[in-house]
Copies of this chain bind each other. A is one copy, B any other.
Amino acid sequence: MKCRVCGKLYPESAINFCVDDFGPLEVTYDYEAIKGQVSRDILERRPATMWKFQEFLPIGPDQPIVGRNVGATPLVKADRLADALGVEKLWVKNDAVNFPTLSFKDRVVSVALSKALEFGMTTVGCASTGNLANSVAAQAASAGLETFILVPADLERTKILGTAVYGAKVIGCLGTYDEVNRLCTQIALKYGWGFVNVNLRPFYAEGSKTMGFEIAQDLGWRLPQHVVCPMAGGALIGKIHKAFNELYATGLIDTPVTTKMYGAQATGCNPISDAVKQNREKHKPIRKPNTICKSLAIGDPADGIFAAKLVRETGGWAEDVTDDEIVDGMKLLAQTEGIFGETAGGTTVAVARKLIEAGRIPRNEEIVLCVTGNGLKTQDAVFDSLTAPATIKPTLAEFEQLSGLIEAVLV
């Protein structure tokens, strides 16, 4: 592992920051060695899961794997959404149907928990209110690991259910996000437990790359010109781009990476998009996030600086959208492509629309939108915007009297 700030090297262990400068650690690879191990043909013959890219993940070939079936989600050619947005070539990378818990977090958790097994850990956990908690609880259960999930004390019980059902020990915490994260660090240090996004973070983060590998493979081993990606902590966008570079470094794609990366946030919590638009190197933390898009509402994102830098360097951009635009984005995606993404998906679609309309993304080039979670988990967001159904007796006469309905269809 290598410090992303000073470059100092570390052996693999359950730490996530450099002891000299507190810079985040990142896993490094020997790409020349990987080049000799994999080819397009070899990869295409492996089972369709994210683990076909194991050489690019920090889990050795003989290690046990948690989440063997994660990934390989559809890259959907989205012609009807393309028409609606006024662009020519559009795809949706749809992690809303990821195994086992319907979000891209299944990828990162799969790597983190595999590493936890390798380190001999028997207890794991995370602090999360949503997708991450679901995935840690589910995949830890599948590996027989004990699990502690720390959630805000006021979280609705319906949201706790999707985590508690897997047998995880769910603990409500009265405190801020930062205080809870600090507690996780203390517990991890004292008991040697694996908190996926704390002491296992360098391994965890690598899992996101598989979304990038899969996009390239499904396009026929080449890259799109533009990728729009939601930003919460800011890691995913960077890891997708890292994946593209790794594919070039190992000869799996033929040309250097020129893909432009675009970041999507909610206006109610937009530290990274604000930094990009204001041309600031470091984002200003948002103290009180206020948006329906809870899964992106990280006020002080750990990878904010790196994400803003990446967006600038690739020639992309970042944008944020209001809650109303997010709901419109969710409905547009559902009604054109039959994909019910969560609020973060609506954010990505709405930001893409804004960037296209502003001329930031050209209408005649290839665009991939990353949908990272399932709308069933954030149903409340769209509930009020849908009309209640008409009611009839089950007769043809009553059906035909439903004013406007039939006419609208028959015209």
Contact = CB atoms under 8 A, between A and B. Distances in A.
Nearest to A135: B338
B338 A139 contact: yes
A180 B394 contact: yes
A334 B391 contact: no
A138 B173 contact: no
Interface string A305-331: 000000000000000000000000011
Contacts of A174: 391-394
A26 B166 CA distance: 41
Contacts of A33: none
B393 A173 contact: yes
B74 A99 contact: yes
A339 interface: yes
Interface stretch (A150-158, A237-245, A280-288, A353-361): A150-158
Interface residues of A, number: 91
Nearest to A83: B144
Interface in A366-386: 374-377, 379, 382-383, 386
A339 B383 CA distance: 27
Interface of A: 44-45, 48-49, 68-69, 72-74, 76-77, 80, 94, 96-102, 122-123, 137-142, 144, 146, 148, 150-151, 153, 157-158, 160-162, 164-167, 169-175, 179-180, 182-183, 186-187, 190-191, 330-331, 334-340, 374-377, 379, 382-383, 386-396, 399, 402, 405-406, 409-410
28 contacts: A44-B45, A48-B48, A48-B72, A68-B77, A69-B74, A80-B142, A80-B144, A100-B339, A101-B338, A102-B102, A102-B374, A140-B338, A141-B334, A142-B337, A151-B389, A161-B386, A162-B340, A165-B334, A165-B335, A167-B331, A171-B402, A171-B405, A172-B390, A172-B391, A172-B392, A173-B391, A173-B393, A175-B393
Given A72-B72, A138-B340, 6 more contacts: A74-B99, A97-B98, A172-B391, A174-B393, A183-B395, A190-B396
